[in-house]
Amino acid sequence: MTDSTYWWKLAGKAFGVGVLLFLIAPIIAIIPLSFNTSSILTYPLEGFSLKWYAKFFADPRWWTAIKNSLIVGVATVGIATPLGTLAALGLSMTGFRGKSFIIAGFMSPMVVPTVITAVGIYFLFSRLGLANSLSGLVLAHTALAAPFVVITVSASLSQLDRVLLRASASLGAGGLTTFWRVTMPLIMPGIVSGAIFAFTTSFDEVVVAILLTGPEQRTLPRELLSGTRENLDPTVMAVATLLITLSVILLLVFTALQQRSSRLVDKDQ
């Protein structure tokens, strides 16, 4: 190896590490602040304390927010996952007229800025009486989350060997049996990944939540936002830390699922 390639490689690595730091530094910076004794959000830290966590757990306002977020998140998963899976199944079948329009329609909530979607939903839902209700928020989040399910399930379906479906039919299984016993188990990693994405989409969503929720329906991100604006104290950091932990766990589950699905098809390819 010549000297110059060595330095180039080193520079490349340094750049990579730099980008990673840039991405995670803000997240990492929050975590120690949540354990700080001081109520002012600055470094250096003054001492270790769990009092902000205690404050968080004691405050019914946060509990309501967590409850709302979980209700909305789980309901969104419950609707968006089957809908997105069915859409992906339909789209994976042989081509039909207008297929690309339908795909564009499904994907539009991902492409259009959330504010635009949120404002549109707000006006529509106000007329329908769905504003300031959790069910309205669930419906809005479903629209935002379903494209992620479509994408992950479509990716799983593209890996699925169609001959297996023929094999299942030749063995006497009708369409529904084949779906439950062959297709679904094989695309399950895609379905679960989609469900995880759907949950995080809803759990992190703040723009629609601002427009569509009253004080009763405030979700966790919505409460966090008002927390930082109204009375900025480290409780917000404690909440953020808890959310980061949850996200990391979900990300690990997602990665594990991806590895499992690639193991099943490995030798076939």
Partner 1 sequence: MAIAAASPIVRLSGVSKNYGIYKAIDRIDLDIVPGEFITFLGPSGSGKTTTLMMLAGFETPSEGAIEMDGRRIERLPAHKRNIGVVFQNYALFPHMSVRENLAFPLNVRRVPTAEIRSRVDAALAMVHLDGLAERKPVQLSGGQQQRVALARAIIFKPRLIVLDEPLGALDKNLREHLQAELKSLHRDLGTTMVFVTHDQSEALTLSDRVAVFNKGRIEQIDTPEALYERPATPFVASFIGENNMLPGNIETRNGDEVAIRFAGGGLLQARSQASCKPGDEIILSIRPENIRRASAGAGQHVSATIIDIVYLGDQRRILVEADGIGRLVFKTGAAGEKPITQGERIDIELSAGTCRVLPKQ
Tokens of 158: 């593209």
Which CB, 48 or 96, lies closer to partner 1?
96
Distance CA 48, CA 45 (A): 8
Which CB, 1 or 93, lies closer to partner 1?
93
**Closest distance to partner 1 from the beta carbon of 94 (Å):** 13
Binding site for partner 1 (CB under 8 A): 161, 163-164, 166-174, 177-178, 181-182, 185-186, 263-268
Distance CA 159, CA 181 (A): 17
**Closest distance to partner 1 from the beta carbon of 159 (Å):** 11
Which CB, 3 or 266, lies closer to partner 1?
266
Sequence-ordered list of residues with C-beta below 8 angstroms from that of 104, at least 6 positions apart, any chain: none
Which CB, 66 or 165, lies closer to partner 1?
165
Query: Got the DSSP string for 196-253?
Result: HHHHHHHHH--HHHHHH--GGG--HHHHHHHHHHHS--THHHHHHHHHHHHHHHHHHH
**Closest distance to partner 1 from the beta carbon of 162 (Å):** 10
**Closest distance to partner 1 from the beta carbon of 87 (Å):** 23
**Closest distance to partner 1 from the beta carbon of 185 (Å):** 5
> Nearest 5 degrees, angle CA 146-CA 149-CA 154?
130
Q: Residue 138 in contact with residue 79, Cβ under 8 Å?
A: yes
**Closest distance to partner 1 from the beta carbon of 86 (Å):** 21
Quote the distance between the C-alpha of residue 33 and its chain's center. Answer: 25
Distance CA 208, CA 210 (A): 5
Tokens 């980061």 found at = 244
